Amino acid sequence: MTSSQVGKQHDEQHDRRGVVGGDAPEEGYERGLGSRQVQMIAIGGAIGVGLFLGAGANIAKAGPSLIVMYALAGAIVFFIMRALGELLLYRPVSGSFAEYSREFLGPFFGYFTGWTYWLMWVVTGMAELTAAAIYVHYWFPSIPQWVTALVFLVVLFVANLISVKLFGEIEFWFSMVKVTALVGMIVIGLGVLTLGFSAAGDTASVANLWQFDGFFPKGVGSSLMTLQGVMFAYLAVELVGVTAGESDNPEKTLPKAINTLPWRIALFYVGALTVILCVVKWTEFAPGVSPFVEAFAKIGIPAGAAIVNFVVLTAALSSCNSGMYSTGRMLRTLADNGEAPKGFGRLSSSKTPALGITVSVAFMGIGVILNYVVPEKAFGYVTSVATAAGIWTWLMILISHVRYRRAVGAGRLPASSFPAPGGVVFSWTAIVFLFVVTCLIAYDADSRVCLYVMAVWAAVLGGGWAALRVRNPQVTEQGERAFERVG
Protein backbone atom coordinates (compact mmCIF):
# COMPACT_ATOMS: atom_id res chain seq x y z
CA MET A 1 0.00 0.00 0.00
CA THR A 2 1.44 3.40 -1.01
CA SER A 3 1.67 6.36 1.34
CA SER A 4 -1.04 8.20 -0.63
CA GLN A 5 -3.38 5.22 -0.31
CA VAL A 6 -2.70 5.01 3.42
CA GLY A 7 -3.42 8.70 3.77
CA LYS A 8 -6.67 8.36 1.85
CA GLN A 9 -7.69 5.39 4.01
CA HIS A 10 -6.97 7.38 7.16
CA ASP A 11 -8.97 10.36 5.85
CA GLU A 12 -11.94 8.07 5.17
CA GLN A 13 -11.68 6.57 8.64
CA HIS A 14 -11.43 10.05 10.14
CA ASP A 15 -14.55 11.23 8.30
CA ARG A 16 -16.47 8.12 9.33
CA ARG A 17 -15.51 8.15 13.00
CA GLY A 18 -15.32 11.89 13.58
CA VAL A 19 -12.53 13.77 15.29
CA VAL A 20 -11.42 13.01 18.80
CA GLY A 21 -13.67 14.89 21.14
CA GLY A 22 -15.96 16.01 18.33
CA ASP A 23 -19.68 15.70 17.74
CA ALA A 24 -21.40 12.47 16.84
CA PRO A 25 -19.84 11.34 13.56
CA GLU A 26 -21.82 10.35 10.50
CA GLU A 27 -20.77 6.73 10.14
CA GLY A 28 -22.99 5.81 7.20
CA TYR A 29 -25.50 3.83 9.27
CA GLU A 30 -29.21 4.44 9.06
CA ARG A 31 -30.37 6.15 12.23
CA GLY A 32 -33.39 3.91 12.28
CA LEU A 33 -33.76 3.09 15.99
CA GLY A 34 -36.45 5.24 17.57
CA SER A 35 -36.90 6.04 21.24
CA ARG A 36 -39.45 3.23 21.69
CA GLN A 37 -37.00 0.64 20.31
CA VAL A 38 -33.92 1.91 22.18
CA GLN A 39 -35.87 1.93 25.43
CA MET A 40 -37.06 -1.64 24.93
CA ILE A 41 -33.60 -2.83 23.79
CA ALA A 42 -32.24 -1.38 27.04
CA ILE A 43 -34.96 -3.12 29.06
CA GLY A 44 -34.50 -6.41 27.19
CA GLY A 45 -30.75 -6.26 27.75
CA ALA A 46 -31.40 -6.55 31.47
CA ILE A 47 -33.56 -9.66 31.13
CA GLY A 48 -31.97 -12.80 29.75
CA VAL A 49 -31.48 -16.52 30.05
CA GLY A 50 -29.09 -15.85 32.94
CA LEU A 51 -32.08 -14.81 35.02
CA PHE A 52 -34.64 -17.31 33.74
CA LEU A 53 -32.37 -20.37 33.98
CA GLY A 54 -29.18 -19.44 35.84
CA ALA A 55 -31.01 -18.24 38.94
CA GLY A 56 -31.97 -21.83 39.79
CA ALA A 57 -28.38 -22.98 40.37
CA ASN A 58 -27.55 -19.76 42.22
CA ILE A 59 -30.53 -20.11 44.57
CA ALA A 60 -29.32 -23.62 45.44
CA LYS A 61 -25.89 -22.14 46.31
CA ALA A 62 -26.93 -19.00 48.17
CA GLY A 63 -30.57 -19.32 49.20
CA PRO A 64 -32.50 -16.06 49.76
CA SER A 65 -29.24 -14.08 50.02
CA LEU A 66 -29.08 -14.25 46.23
CA ILE A 67 -31.42 -11.25 46.31
CA VAL A 68 -28.63 -9.18 47.89
CA MET A 69 -26.12 -10.42 45.32
CA TYR A 70 -28.37 -9.30 42.45
CA ALA A 71 -28.92 -5.93 44.14
CA LEU A 72 -25.18 -5.45 44.73
CA ALA A 73 -24.23 -6.45 41.20
CA GLY A 74 -27.09 -4.30 39.86
CA ALA A 75 -25.68 -1.23 41.62
CA ILE A 76 -22.27 -1.88 40.05
CA VAL A 77 -23.84 -2.34 36.61
CA PHE A 78 -25.58 1.02 37.05
CA PHE A 79 -22.20 2.65 37.83
CA ILE A 80 -20.83 1.09 34.64
CA MET A 81 -23.76 2.30 32.57
CA ARG A 82 -23.58 5.85 33.92
CA ALA A 83 -19.86 5.92 33.07
CA LEU A 84 -20.73 4.68 29.58
CA GLY A 85 -23.54 7.22 29.33
CA GLU A 86 -21.16 10.09 30.01
CA LEU A 87 -18.85 8.85 27.26
CA LEU A 88 -21.74 8.28 24.84
CA LEU A 89 -23.01 11.85 25.19
CA TYR A 90 -19.44 13.14 24.82
CA ARG A 91 -19.16 11.28 21.50
CA PRO A 92 -21.93 8.84 20.44
CA VAL A 93 -20.45 6.30 18.03
CA SER A 94 -21.33 2.74 17.06
CA GLY A 95 -18.87 0.25 18.54
CA SER A 96 -18.42 2.66 21.41
CA PHE A 97 -16.41 0.44 23.76
CA ALA A 98 -13.61 -0.12 21.28
CA GLU A 99 -13.57 3.53 20.21
CA TYR A 100 -13.30 4.84 23.77
CA SER A 101 -10.63 2.28 24.64
CA ARG A 102 -8.69 3.39 21.57
CA GLU A 103 -9.05 7.07 22.42
CA PHE A 104 -8.29 6.95 26.13
CA LEU A 105 -6.08 3.88 26.58
CA GLY A 106 -4.31 3.55 23.25
CA PRO A 107 -4.75 1.74 19.93
CA PHE A 108 -3.95 -1.75 21.21
CA PHE A 109 -6.73 -1.59 23.80
CA GLY A 110 -9.24 -0.49 21.17
CA TYR A 111 -8.18 -3.42 19.00
CA PHE A 112 -8.29 -5.89 21.91
CA THR A 113 -11.65 -4.65 23.23
CA GLY A 114 -13.32 -4.72 19.81
CA TRP A 115 -12.29 -8.31 19.09
CA THR A 116 -13.06 -9.45 22.66
CA TYR A 117 -16.57 -7.99 22.54
CA TRP A 118 -17.04 -9.76 19.21
CA LEU A 119 -15.93 -13.03 20.87
CA MET A 120 -18.36 -12.47 23.75
CA TRP A 121 -21.34 -12.25 21.44
CA VAL A 122 -20.27 -15.08 19.17
CA VAL A 123 -19.93 -17.54 22.05
CA THR A 124 -23.14 -16.23 23.62
CA GLY A 125 -24.89 -16.75 20.29
CA MET A 126 -23.58 -20.33 20.16
CA ALA A 127 -25.08 -21.09 23.56
CA GLU A 128 -28.36 -19.26 23.06
CA LEU A 129 -29.07 -20.78 19.66
CA THR A 130 -28.64 -24.28 21.01
CA ALA A 131 -30.73 -23.41 24.07
CA ALA A 132 -33.53 -22.11 21.84
CA ALA A 133 -33.57 -25.41 19.93
CA ILE A 134 -33.83 -27.32 23.22
CA TYR A 135 -36.79 -25.17 24.30
CA VAL A 136 -38.64 -25.87 21.04
CA HIS A 137 -37.95 -29.58 21.62
CA TYR A 138 -40.24 -29.22 24.67
CA TRP A 139 -43.25 -28.86 22.32
CA PHE A 140 -42.04 -30.72 19.23
CA PRO A 141 -39.80 -33.60 20.34
CA SER A 142 -39.94 -35.23 16.90
CA ILE A 143 -38.14 -32.31 15.18
CA PRO A 144 -34.34 -32.78 15.24
CA GLN A 145 -32.59 -30.16 17.36
CA TRP A 146 -30.21 -29.08 14.59
CA VAL A 147 -33.12 -28.31 12.25
CA THR A 148 -34.70 -25.89 14.72
CA ALA A 149 -31.36 -24.24 15.45
CA LEU A 150 -30.71 -23.80 11.73
CA VAL A 151 -34.14 -22.24 11.13
CA PHE A 152 -33.66 -19.71 13.93
CA LEU A 153 -30.15 -18.92 12.69
CA VAL A 154 -31.34 -18.23 9.14
CA VAL A 155 -34.42 -16.18 10.14
CA LEU A 156 -32.50 -13.89 12.50
CA PHE A 157 -29.63 -13.61 10.01
CA VAL A 158 -31.95 -12.44 7.22
CA ALA A 159 -33.71 -9.99 9.56
CA ASN A 160 -30.39 -8.41 10.53
CA LEU A 161 -29.39 -8.06 6.87
CA ILE A 162 -32.61 -6.33 5.80
CA SER A 163 -32.41 -3.21 7.99
CA VAL A 164 -31.68 -1.92 11.45
CA LYS A 165 -35.37 -0.98 11.72
CA LEU A 166 -36.37 -4.64 11.39
CA PHE A 167 -33.76 -5.63 13.98
CA GLY A 168 -35.14 -2.98 16.34
CA GLU A 169 -38.71 -4.10 15.78
CA ILE A 170 -37.92 -7.78 16.43
CA GLU A 171 -35.96 -6.86 19.56
CA PHE A 172 -38.82 -4.61 20.70
CA TRP A 173 -41.34 -7.46 20.61
CA PHE A 174 -38.92 -10.01 22.11
CA SER A 175 -38.36 -7.61 25.00
CA MET A 176 -42.08 -6.90 25.29
CA VAL A 177 -42.76 -10.62 25.79
CA LYS A 178 -40.08 -10.88 28.51
CA VAL A 179 -41.22 -7.76 30.33
CA THR A 180 -44.92 -8.68 30.21
CA ALA A 181 -44.18 -12.20 31.45
CA LEU A 182 -42.05 -11.02 34.36
CA VAL A 183 -44.57 -8.40 35.43
CA GLY A 184 -47.30 -11.06 35.23
CA MET A 185 -45.23 -13.44 37.37
CA ILE A 186 -44.68 -10.73 39.99
CA VAL A 187 -48.37 -9.78 40.09
CA ILE A 188 -49.46 -13.43 40.40
CA GLY A 189 -46.87 -14.02 43.13
CA LEU A 190 -48.06 -10.98 45.09
CA GLY A 191 -51.61 -12.25 44.70
CA VAL A 192 -50.62 -15.62 46.16
CA LEU A 193 -48.88 -13.89 49.09
CA THR A 194 -51.67 -11.44 49.93
CA LEU A 195 -54.81 -13.37 48.98
CA GLY A 196 -53.61 -16.92 49.60
CA PHE A 197 -55.08 -18.44 46.45
CA SER A 198 -53.59 -21.40 44.52
CA ALA A 199 -51.93 -24.58 45.75
CA ALA A 200 -49.00 -22.55 47.14
CA GLY A 201 -51.21 -20.19 49.14
CA ASP A 202 -50.95 -22.11 52.43
CA THR A 203 -47.14 -22.07 52.54
CA ALA A 204 -46.38 -18.77 50.78
CA SER A 205 -44.97 -16.25 53.24
CA VAL A 206 -42.37 -13.49 53.51
CA ALA A 207 -40.94 -15.56 56.38
CA ASN A 208 -39.70 -18.06 53.77
CA LEU A 209 -36.80 -15.66 53.28
CA TRP A 210 -35.29 -16.51 56.67
CA GLN A 211 -37.13 -19.50 58.17
CA PHE A 212 -35.05 -22.21 56.51
CA ASP A 213 -31.52 -21.92 57.95
CA GLY A 214 -31.55 -18.12 57.78
CA PHE A 215 -31.09 -15.52 55.06
CA PHE A 216 -27.51 -16.72 54.40
CA PRO A 217 -28.14 -20.49 54.78
CA LYS A 218 -24.76 -21.54 53.35
CA GLY A 219 -22.67 -18.64 54.60
CA VAL A 220 -21.57 -15.32 53.12
CA GLY A 221 -18.71 -16.99 51.22
CA SER A 222 -21.04 -19.27 49.30
CA SER A 223 -23.25 -16.29 48.46
CA LEU A 224 -20.28 -14.34 47.10
CA MET A 225 -19.36 -17.27 44.84
CA THR A 226 -22.64 -16.74 42.97
CA LEU A 227 -21.50 -13.29 41.80
CA GLN A 228 -19.90 -14.74 38.67
CA GLY A 229 -23.25 -16.24 37.61
CA VAL A 230 -25.09 -13.09 38.62
CA MET A 231 -22.81 -10.95 36.45
CA PHE A 232 -23.52 -13.24 33.47
CA ALA A 233 -27.21 -12.48 33.97
CA TYR A 234 -26.43 -8.77 33.47
CA LEU A 235 -24.42 -9.24 30.27
CA ALA A 236 -25.83 -7.28 27.30
CA VAL A 237 -27.09 -4.39 29.42
CA GLU A 238 -24.32 -2.37 27.71
CA LEU A 239 -25.84 -3.12 24.29
CA VAL A 240 -27.52 0.29 24.36
CA GLY A 241 -24.03 1.71 23.77
CA VAL A 242 -23.69 -0.16 20.48
CA THR A 243 -26.97 1.39 19.29
CA ALA A 244 -25.58 4.93 19.69
CA GLY A 245 -24.56 5.23 16.04
CA GLU A 246 -28.05 4.24 14.85
CA SER A 247 -30.29 6.03 17.35
CA ASP A 248 -32.30 8.83 15.76
CA ASN A 249 -31.82 11.12 18.79
CA PRO A 250 -29.01 9.77 21.02
CA GLU A 251 -28.85 12.91 23.19
CA LYS A 252 -32.42 12.23 24.33
CA THR A 253 -32.91 8.46 24.12
CA LEU A 254 -29.63 7.23 25.64
CA PRO A 255 -29.82 9.12 28.99
CA LYS A 256 -33.46 8.06 29.38
CA ALA A 257 -32.60 4.41 28.68
CA ILE A 258 -29.70 4.45 31.16
CA ASN A 259 -31.49 6.33 33.93
CA THR A 260 -34.33 3.78 33.96
CA LEU A 261 -31.86 0.96 34.69
CA PRO A 262 -32.18 1.07 38.52
CA TRP A 263 -35.94 0.50 38.52
CA ARG A 264 -35.57 -2.24 35.90
CA ILE A 265 -33.04 -4.04 38.08
CA ALA A 266 -35.16 -3.47 41.19
CA LEU A 267 -38.30 -4.81 39.50
CA PHE A 268 -37.15 -7.57 37.16
CA TYR A 269 -34.29 -9.04 39.19
CA VAL A 270 -34.59 -8.12 42.86
CA GLY A 271 -38.38 -7.87 42.82
CA ALA A 272 -39.05 -11.03 40.82
CA LEU A 273 -36.63 -13.15 42.87
CA THR A 274 -37.98 -11.79 46.17
CA VAL A 275 -41.56 -12.67 45.22
CA ILE A 276 -40.62 -16.15 43.98
CA LEU A 277 -38.59 -16.95 47.12
CA CYS A 278 -41.52 -15.82 49.28
CA VAL A 279 -43.99 -17.97 47.37
CA VAL A 280 -41.77 -21.08 47.28
CA LYS A 281 -39.12 -21.84 49.89
CA TRP A 282 -35.60 -21.80 48.51
CA THR A 283 -34.87 -25.44 49.38
CA GLU A 284 -37.26 -26.59 46.64
CA PHE A 285 -35.22 -25.06 43.82
CA ALA A 286 -32.46 -27.00 42.09
CA PRO A 287 -29.74 -26.42 39.47
CA GLY A 288 -30.81 -26.96 35.88
CA VAL A 289 -34.44 -26.05 36.56
CA SER A 290 -35.83 -22.56 35.96
CA PRO A 291 -37.08 -21.13 39.28
CA PHE A 292 -39.90 -19.49 37.35
CA VAL A 293 -41.06 -22.81 35.91
CA GLU A 294 -40.81 -24.36 39.37
CA ALA A 295 -42.79 -21.54 40.97
CA PHE A 296 -45.57 -21.77 38.37
CA ALA A 297 -45.73 -25.53 38.94
CA LYS A 298 -46.13 -24.99 42.71
CA ILE A 299 -48.81 -22.36 42.20
CA GLY A 300 -50.65 -24.75 39.89
CA ILE A 301 -51.34 -22.44 36.97
CA PRO A 302 -52.53 -24.43 33.90
CA ALA A 303 -49.90 -24.55 31.17
CA GLY A 304 -47.61 -22.48 33.42
CA ALA A 305 -44.51 -24.44 32.45
CA ALA A 306 -45.31 -24.05 28.75
CA ILE A 307 -45.79 -20.30 29.16
CA VAL A 308 -42.45 -19.88 30.91
CA ASN A 309 -40.80 -22.12 28.33
CA PHE A 310 -42.03 -19.74 25.62
CA VAL A 311 -40.66 -16.75 27.54
CA VAL A 312 -37.26 -18.40 27.98
CA LEU A 313 -37.24 -19.25 24.25
CA THR A 314 -37.90 -15.57 23.53
CA ALA A 315 -35.03 -14.58 25.82
CA ALA A 316 -32.63 -16.90 23.99
CA LEU A 317 -33.67 -15.67 20.54
CA SER A 318 -33.44 -12.07 21.74
CA SER A 319 -29.87 -12.63 22.91
CA CYS A 320 -28.90 -14.29 19.63
CA ASN A 321 -30.52 -11.47 17.66
CA SER A 322 -28.56 -8.90 19.66
CA GLY A 323 -25.37 -10.89 19.09
CA MET A 324 -25.75 -10.77 15.33
CA TYR A 325 -26.42 -7.03 15.48
CA SER A 326 -23.47 -6.12 17.71
CA THR A 327 -20.84 -8.41 16.15
CA GLY A 328 -21.37 -6.91 12.70
CA ARG A 329 -21.00 -3.36 14.07
CA MET A 330 -17.90 -4.22 16.08
CA LEU A 331 -16.19 -5.85 13.08
CA ARG A 332 -16.91 -2.72 11.05
CA THR A 333 -15.33 -0.54 13.75
CA LEU A 334 -12.24 -2.76 13.68
CA ALA A 335 -12.10 -2.66 9.88
CA ASP A 336 -12.41 1.13 9.85
CA ASN A 337 -9.29 1.26 12.01
CA GLY A 338 -7.37 -1.21 9.85
CA GLU A 339 -7.56 -3.89 12.56
CA ALA A 340 -9.75 -6.32 10.59
CA PRO A 341 -10.09 -7.13 6.87
CA LYS A 342 -11.22 -4.07 4.91
CA GLY A 343 -14.32 -5.85 3.59
CA PHE A 344 -15.89 -5.78 7.06
CA GLY A 345 -16.06 -1.99 6.79
CA ARG A 346 -18.42 -1.91 3.82
CA LEU A 347 -22.14 -1.33 4.23
CA SER A 348 -24.79 -3.02 2.11
CA SER A 349 -27.48 -1.12 0.20
CA SER A 350 -29.64 -1.35 3.34
CA LYS A 351 -26.81 0.28 5.37
CA THR A 352 -25.99 -2.84 7.38
CA PRO A 353 -22.48 -4.37 7.79
CA ALA A 354 -23.55 -7.47 5.87
CA LEU A 355 -20.17 -9.22 5.59
CA GLY A 356 -19.42 -8.82 9.30
CA ILE A 357 -22.83 -10.20 10.22
CA THR A 358 -22.41 -13.11 7.80
CA VAL A 359 -19.02 -14.16 9.17
CA SER A 360 -20.24 -13.87 12.76
CA VAL A 361 -23.30 -16.00 11.97
CA ALA A 362 -21.03 -18.60 10.39
CA PHE A 363 -19.10 -18.90 13.66
CA MET A 364 -22.37 -19.12 15.62
CA GLY A 365 -23.39 -21.96 13.29
CA ILE A 366 -20.22 -23.84 14.19
CA GLY A 367 -21.27 -23.46 17.82
CA VAL A 368 -24.54 -25.26 17.13
CA ILE A 369 -22.58 -28.25 15.89
CA LEU A 370 -20.18 -28.14 18.84
CA ASN A 371 -22.97 -27.92 21.40
CA TYR A 372 -24.64 -30.89 19.75
CA VAL A 373 -21.62 -33.20 20.08
CA VAL A 374 -19.99 -32.12 23.37
CA PRO A 375 -21.23 -32.86 26.92
CA GLU A 376 -23.77 -30.71 28.75
CA LYS A 377 -21.02 -28.82 30.58
CA ALA A 378 -20.17 -27.10 27.30
CA PHE A 379 -23.03 -24.64 27.82
CA GLY A 380 -21.58 -23.60 31.18
CA TYR A 381 -18.08 -23.28 29.76
CA VAL A 382 -19.29 -21.10 26.90
CA THR A 383 -21.23 -18.79 29.21
CA SER A 384 -18.23 -18.44 31.53
CA VAL A 385 -16.09 -17.35 28.55
CA ALA A 386 -18.79 -14.80 27.69
CA THR A 387 -18.71 -13.52 31.28
CA ALA A 388 -14.92 -13.09 31.22
CA ALA A 389 -15.12 -11.20 27.92
CA GLY A 390 -17.94 -9.07 29.32
CA ILE A 391 -15.91 -8.19 32.42
CA TRP A 392 -13.06 -7.01 30.16
CA THR A 393 -15.49 -4.79 28.23
CA TRP A 394 -16.88 -3.29 31.43
CA LEU A 395 -13.37 -2.63 32.76
CA MET A 396 -12.45 -0.81 29.55
CA ILE A 397 -15.58 1.37 29.86
CA LEU A 398 -14.72 2.28 33.45
CA ILE A 399 -11.02 2.96 32.88
CA SER A 400 -11.84 5.00 29.76
CA HIS A 401 -14.25 7.03 31.87
CA VAL A 402 -11.56 7.72 34.48
CA ARG A 403 -9.15 8.85 31.74
CA TYR A 404 -11.84 10.98 30.09
CA ARG A 405 -12.63 12.77 33.37
CA ARG A 406 -8.91 13.43 33.82
CA ALA A 407 -8.73 14.98 30.32
CA VAL A 408 -11.82 17.13 31.02
CA GLY A 409 -10.32 18.31 34.29
CA ALA A 410 -7.13 19.31 32.47
CA GLY A 411 -9.15 21.23 29.87
CA ARG A 412 -8.13 18.99 26.97
CA LEU A 413 -11.66 17.74 26.21
CA PRO A 414 -15.18 19.20 26.50
CA ALA A 415 -17.42 18.05 29.34
CA SER A 416 -20.25 15.63 28.59
CA SER A 417 -23.87 16.73 28.88
CA PHE A 418 -24.61 13.57 30.92
CA PRO A 419 -22.03 13.41 33.73
CA ALA A 420 -21.90 10.30 35.90
CA PRO A 421 -22.91 10.83 39.55
CA GLY A 422 -20.03 10.56 41.97
CA GLY A 423 -17.50 11.32 39.25
CA VAL A 424 -14.73 8.73 39.12
CA VAL A 425 -15.39 7.44 42.65
CA PHE A 426 -18.15 5.11 41.46
CA SER A 427 -16.04 4.03 38.49
CA TRP A 428 -13.16 3.05 40.77
CA THR A 429 -15.62 1.21 43.04
CA ALA A 430 -16.88 -0.79 40.07
CA ILE A 431 -13.31 -1.53 38.89
CA VAL A 432 -12.42 -3.01 42.29
CA PHE A 433 -15.66 -5.03 42.30
CA LEU A 434 -14.91 -6.53 38.87
CA PHE A 435 -11.42 -7.54 39.98
CA VAL A 436 -12.97 -9.28 43.02
CA VAL A 437 -15.37 -11.17 40.73
CA THR A 438 -12.42 -12.20 38.53
CA CYS A 439 -10.66 -13.59 41.63
CA LEU A 440 -13.82 -15.54 42.52
CA ILE A 441 -13.88 -16.99 38.99
CA ALA A 442 -10.23 -18.05 39.40
CA TYR A 443 -11.06 -19.69 42.74
CA ASP A 444 -13.88 -21.84 41.33
CA ALA A 445 -12.61 -24.97 39.54
CA ASP A 446 -15.53 -25.17 37.10
CA SER A 447 -15.47 -21.56 35.97
CA ARG A 448 -11.73 -20.85 35.91
CA VAL A 449 -11.46 -22.61 32.54
CA CYS A 450 -12.67 -19.35 31.00
CA LEU A 451 -9.51 -17.61 32.24
CA TYR A 452 -7.40 -20.19 30.38
CA VAL A 453 -9.45 -19.54 27.24
CA MET A 454 -9.00 -15.79 27.67
CA ALA A 455 -5.24 -16.26 28.10
CA VAL A 456 -5.09 -18.12 24.78
CA TRP A 457 -7.32 -15.46 23.20
CA ALA A 458 -4.99 -12.72 24.47
CA ALA A 459 -1.99 -14.53 23.00
CA VAL A 460 -3.76 -14.84 19.62
CA LEU A 461 -4.70 -11.16 19.59
CA GLY A 462 -1.20 -10.20 20.71
CA GLY A 463 0.24 -12.13 17.78
CA GLY A 464 -2.24 -10.45 15.44
CA TRP A 465 -1.26 -7.00 16.72
CA ALA A 466 2.45 -7.74 16.26
CA ALA A 467 1.77 -8.85 12.68
CA LEU A 468 -0.32 -5.73 12.06
CA ARG A 469 2.50 -3.46 13.23
CA VAL A 470 4.87 -5.12 10.79
CA ARG A 471 2.47 -5.27 7.84
CA ASN A 472 0.75 -1.90 8.23
CA PRO A 473 2.46 0.23 10.91
CA GLN A 474 0.63 3.39 9.79
CA VAL A 475 -2.56 2.06 11.36
CA THR A 476 -1.07 1.78 14.85
CA GLU A 477 0.87 5.03 14.50
CA GLN A 478 -2.32 6.90 13.66
CA GLY A 479 -3.98 5.46 16.75
CA GLU A 480 -1.01 6.48 18.89
CA ARG A 481 -1.22 10.06 17.67
CA ALA A 482 -4.92 10.22 18.53
CA PHE A 483 -4.21 8.75 21.96
CA GLU A 484 -1.52 11.37 22.66
CA ARG A 485 -4.13 14.10 22.27
CA VAL A 486 -6.14 12.86 25.24
CA GLY A 487 -3.73 10.65 27.17
- Residues 33-43 pLDDT 10s: 666 666 666 66
pLDDT of residue 7: 44
| DSSP states of 15-80 | HHH--TT-S----S----B-HHHHHHHHHHHT--HHHHTHHHHHHHHHGGGHHHHHHHHHHHHHHH
Domain count, the chain: 1
Distance of alpha carbon 214 from alpha carbon 232, whole angstroms: 26
pLDDT of residue 236: 76
Q: In this structure, is residue 8 part of a structural domain?
A: no
- What is the rounded average pLDDT of the residues 161-183? 81
Instruction: Give the gyration radius of the chain's Cα atoms.
Output: 22
| DSSP states of 203-227 | T--GGGGTTTT-SSTTHHHHHHTTH
pLDDT range class, residue 377, cuts 50, 70, 90: low
What proportions of the chain, in percent to the nearest 5, are helix, strand and coil?
75, 0, 25
- Residues 12-27 pLDDT 10s: 444 444 444 444 444 5
- Looking at the predicted structure, is the pLDDT value of residue 66 above 90? yes
- Residues 228-260 pLDDT 10s: 888 888 887 777 766 655 566 777 777 877 888
pLDDT range class, residue 328, cuts 50, 70, 90: confident
pLDDT of residue 74: 92
Q: In this structure, is residue 5 part of a structural domain?
A: no
Give the domain CATH number at 469.
1.20.1740.10
pLDDT of residue 398: 96
Residue 120 near residue 386 (C-beta atoms within 8 A): yes
- What is the rounded average pLDDT of the residues 346-351? 78
Q: In this structure, is residue 326 part of a structural domain?
A: yes
pTM, to two decimals: 0.84
Beta bridge partners of 33: 247
- What is the rounded average pLDDT of the residues 426-443? 94
pLDDT of residue 477: 65
pLDDT of residue 9: 43
Dihedral angle of Cα 336, 341, 343, 344, to the nearest 10 degrees: -60
pLDDT of residue 257: 76
- Looking at the predicted structure, is the pLDDT value of residue 199 above 80? no
pLDDT range class, residue 397, cuts 50, 70, 90: very high
Report the 10 Å Cβ neighbour count for 202. 8
Q: In this structure, is residue 13 part of a structural domain?
A: no
Residue 128 near residue 49 (C-beta atoms within 8 A): yes
Q: Which domain holds residue 226?
A: 29-484
Q: Which helix (H) or strand (E) holds 162?
A: helix 145-162
CB burial readout 356-365, b (16+ within 10 A) else e: bbebbbebbb
Q: In this structure, is residue 113 part of a structural domain?
A: yes
Q: In this structure, is residue 208 part of a structural domain?
A: yes
Q: Which helix (H) or strand (E) holds 145?
A: helix 145-162
Q: In this structure, is residue 249 part of a structural domain?
A: yes
